[in-house]
Structure 1
């Protein structure tokens, strides 16, 4: 199965250069695709190559793709979009506007993931490198399968059957309002299965690695800590932090204060992320553009390591037995008690950290247990279910 490596970080930290350099290195041994899911694509600039909306061959074993989101939505959501457009037009919205608003929130995020899912199913590439959007958009991208599948899980056990029964009965009273066809339901069900599959792949640390790119400044460092916490909350495997754009010691007296500030933050990063791989990328004499310059940058960045490797195997959460109780252990290293909420609904345990919510589906054997207590200890949230 294909290996997936996703790079994310605050805007401007250099994740596109890191992703492109990684792809260039891995392509020396394996067929590799680097794809951009950032609406403001810069992969073409980094590789100095005109990249299309389909995989474009750069050189032997190296391909790149800048996804055209409108084209992609039409490809993956054609039936659903066609139905929604007709529904909005029936409600009096002009055809152009109806076509625009038929792209519901989450369509874009899901479409990017569906591309990855397709390439893995087709075994198109040995490695898929994802140059993702800045942190907030990446978190929405990765949280979308869970949100979408939760809604569809609630709707579809009865939705399609009810529609089949109701459609002939209600059609005389709809006044021409379009009703979803079996084809629309089939399209939604296929989407549901694909999203479940890609979520499983993206959470599998044997296949997927998420790497956080940051700079040695306070704003980037703080955002990286938050991103790490939220990614772990959703069960995604983070195996490395890359600190980019570090000033070298030979940059002269003018940059002395900057170097001192960066060194302080580098010490903080080492302390905060000491249990995962930390790599350093230094400012080069010129921006690394084109495959050859990216390879130089990548060789220094990985310093003898193979970027294809998995640098950390970790389960973001796991269940443990404690007498008659069950303990859910969730790694949340930078979360705080005051910003964390916990509650249970039916067989679902909901964990909230600030604005992000994770639904943990409890195994059938403990679905009736209730949370009786929770505590933070050594970077983990321990939840006692009894």
Structure 2
């Protein structure tokens, strides 16, 4: 049986790692074999358990395992042929070995490598649940958007580059002193592309994956959580819960009374805003939950009578429908500002931009010649009419 995937992200400092570690610990205590993976460059998963974890999978307790993914090792494992070629290319141009090695790590290598580990564990079926302690919001969005971004380059540039290399390699080789990519390099890229396309299908499958946003009851965290929720829905990722962490209790005394009032106002607004997904509320603890036993206790405080393995919301953020001769693309994005949304169509590619993020929609072939004629944003949905 394929494992359930739970991915936790949120603004830095909100307690994301503790929530992810507590979830994994609780699931393991309930008898589910669980792997917790940290893809945060500033790994703190080991700190939560009070032990060193490292890149190799380590047993943390009964039914519980952990891994802090090493970017260097993961790139060497998954991108070996391509990185070796790039390194040799830069060395041939006079770069020193250290600089050549650094530059050979192209943007996106880290994200791709981390996702490929997840894919491997998913198909191995060794675990019941995989919990991801992802990077803070911005980096997590880059991680999740990378497979689709790579799709554009693979569709547009990869076939041309491969064909050009095959033609040019025998002609140029006697005359140039730079290494030319061989078929193994292109085969490596092609395989990685297919694997990344596959992992995107896994991560957007709401029967398998749930993304959970961790936040604090303050205005900055709330604003970032709303943005993250909107961007995740734009990319079609299933968000099923929000965890509001570090809520002050009445026992904190009179000095914190005003802060408690402010927190409660924000909590009320959050519950009103995230009506579709499950909202969990967690009190600020008197001491850090370090170690397996305390993390299990925290897990019980978070979920109460609920099972963290459960799917709390299964809505589909992106839908196509037909009205007469027109097609409608409906995208859920409840916190987007209408004035910040831009869209255009070129050659069957519908591009939607929201502030610093954009997504290219590859329209179904049957409607790839349609163009957007109007777009209306209402009731938290962007409705794009294609004709």
Q: What TM-score do you get using the length of structure 1 for normalisation?
A: 0.98
SS at match of 2:243: strand
Whether contact under 8 Å (2:61, 2:292) holds in the other structure is: no
Q: Trace 1:23-62 onto structure 2 (pairs within 5 A).
A: 23-27=24-28, 28-62=30-64
Give yes or no for the alignment of 1:102 onto 2:104.
yes
Aligned-residue Cα RMSD (Å) equals 1.0
Alpha-carbon distance, 1:124 to partner: 2.8
2:124 corresponds in structure 1 to 122
SS at match of 1:315: coil
2:91 corresponds in structure 1 to 89
Alpha-carbon distance, 1:292 to partner: 0.6
Alpha-carbon distance, 1:241 to partner: 0.5
1:154 corresponds in structure 2 to 156
SS at match of 1:163: helix
The 2-side partners of 1:159 and 1:105 are apart by 19
The 2-side partners of 1:380 and 1:369 are apart by 20
SS at match of 1:172: coil
2:363 corresponds in structure 1 to 362
Residues 364-385 of structure 1: CA deviation (Å, up to 9, x unaligned)? 1111111010011110000000
The 1-side partners of 2:98 and 2:159 are apart by 33
The 1-side partners of 2:239 and 2:256 are apart by 32
Whether contact under 8 Å (2:34, 2:127) holds in the other structure is: yes
Alpha-carbon distance, 1:91 to partner: 1.4
Whether contact under 8 Å (2:249, 2:284) holds in the other structure is: yes
The 2-side partners of 1:274 and 1:121 are apart by 34
1:292 corresponds in structure 2 to 293
Q: What TM-score do you get using the length of structure 2 for normalisation?
A: 0.98
1:344 corresponds in structure 2 to 345
Alpha-carbon distance, 1:258 to partner: 1.1
Alpha-carbon distance, 1:115 to partner: 0.8
2:220 corresponds in structure 1 to 219
Alpha-carbon distance, 1:348 to partner: 0.9
The 2-side partners of 1:288 and 1:268 are apart by 28
Give yes or no for the alignment of 1:2 onto 2:3.
yes
Runs of 4+ in 1 over 4 A off after TM superposition: none
SS at match of 2:95: coil
The 1-side partners of 2:108 and 2:140 are apart by 12
Whether contact under 8 Å (2:230, 2:336) holds in the other structure is: yes
SS at match of 2:314: coil
Alpha-carbon distance, 1:155 to partner: 2.2
Residues 158-194 of structure 1: CA deviation (Å, up to 9, x unaligned)? 43333223211121222x2101111111110110001
The 2-side partners of 1:347 and 1:257 are apart by 54
Residues 250-295 of structure 1: CA deviation (Å, up to 9, x unaligned)? 2211211111010000011011111110000111121111111011
The 2-side partners of 1:136 and 1:180 are apart by 33
1:332 corresponds in structure 2 to 333
Q: Trace 1:190-209 onto structure 2 (pairs within 5 A).
A: 190-209=191-210
Alpha-carbon distance, 1:102 to partner: 0.4
Question: How many pairs are equivalent?
Answer: 385
The 2-side partners of 1:214 and 1:236 are apart by 18
Alpha-carbon distance, 1:318 to partner: 0.5
Q: Which runs of 5+ in 1 are unaligned?
A: none
Whether contact under 8 Å (2:375, 2:384) holds in the other structure is: yes
1:251 corresponds in structure 2 to 252
1:274 corresponds in structure 2 to 275
The 2-side partners of 1:302 and 1:90 are apart by 57
SS at match of 2:42: coil
The 2-side partners of 1:232 and 1:76 are apart by 29
Whether contact under 8 Å (2:56, 2:67) holds in the other structure is: yes
Residues 196-227 of structure 1: CA deviation (Å, up to 9, x unaligned)? 00011111111110000000000000000000
The 2-side partners of 1:157 and 1:180 are apart by 14
Alpha-carbon distance, 1:74 to partner: 0.8
SS at match of 2:174: helix
1:308 corresponds in structure 2 to 309
Alpha-carbon distance, 1:126 to partner: 1.7
